[in-house]
Structure 1
Amino acid sequence: MQMVMKQAVKFTFDTRFDTDETVSVPRVQPASPAYTAADVERARAEGYASGFVAGQAEAAARADHEIGAAMQNFAANAASLLNALQAGTASSRADAAALAFTAARKLAPALIAARPQAEIEAVLRDCLTHLNREPHIVLRVADTLVDRLKETVDHMALERGLSGRIILLGQSGIAEGDCVVEWADGGVVRSYADIEAEIAEIITRYAESLTGPRATDNSLAMAETRHTNF
């Protein structure tokens, strides 16, 4: 077997190792993320939902503000309207009371003149309810009514067990329909002029209460008799 020997190459020291040559390594670009149509649609839906919620919140806040302003305006208008209605109602009530009093003032004299003894009989009947034990009762009326009242007074005295104890007297200066009932420790005066003055005062106070700071519904008290002590 024949062996062949390669001839050795002599190193000549002409190879340079200090050169600036660099080996360029190609840069590998990262792979771009792959988005599917579903991903894009999902992102779009999320963005729409977020914007919709924000829009709703803004619209709700604006609506609350507008409602609050409207309620304040309504309350102010309602208060103003209520004050106007109260003022109008008070004025109407005062006018109605004054009108009723004027009508009554014109009508009452005619009614009294038609049957003046009716008022006197009512006053005497009311007094006799509480005066059964009085020894004497004096009834003073207008001179023109003595004859018309005598029979009625005697009948009322008999019914109450007071026969002969009611003294009927005519007196000048007493208007028809007016009377004075007297007993031992007291008496009653029925005077249309006094009643009219009292009613006028009541209506005046009533009108003033309606137009005052706080109107109240005071009823009109119609006085019929005035009690006095003799």
Structure 2
Amino acid sequence: MKLLAAMILAAGLLSAVHIVHAADPDPLQDFCIADIAAGPVSNGFPCKLPALASTDDFAFSGLAEAADPSVSATNGTATLAFVRQWPALNTQGLSLIRLDINPGGVVNPHTHNLATEILYVLEGEMYTGFVTNNFGNDPTISNKLYAKVVKKGEAFIFPRGLLHFQLNKGKVLASSLNVLNSQNPGIQLMPLALFGSGIDREMLEKSFFMNATQVAALENIFQ
């Protein structure tokens, strides 16, 4: 009986340890201003000493003004407020993006592998949406498009990791404020990843049914 009681107690302790471990990704202190210069560790950046924090650490003005979309080949710009730009986000599980897109401009199809995203339109309108994964080749739900024109004051959600995009079909500058549930959500722009990373040109030609001249033209844009 004593052995049985000891085994039950041990099992209970292991269960408790598992529960504590499951909560570890949550903040373990009020804040942790990232020491960016120290470099990232496994789940964020080391903290600056709390006594060295100031009110200015918790304020951020980098999204106040629209970026100039005309500087981009796609006529669309994304201004980031991730942990590297705003160190106070460290361990808080949030980040922001501001999009500014000229009429006819786009934000290329891309993914955030570490975060779900909500887009809220500040000005103008955007054609935006996402494409689902390939669910075992089930034609009813695989590679399914969910997209619409989202107007000022409206919002749209992009599930974590799914390919999504923005296009300004209107006649004025379109802007949005996007919230993501990760301090470092990751961004992979599809054209840049494919045509700006040095993938063998033959691979690109055969994958996209393009000739060498067409692939080279895209490489010149994205490299």
TM-score by length of 2: 0.22
Rg larger in 1 or in 2?
1
Higher normalized helix content (fraction of residues): 1
TM-score by length of 1: 0.22
Q: Which structure has more RCO (C-alpha within 8 Å, separation ≥ 6)?
A: 2
Higher normalized strand content (fraction of residues): 2
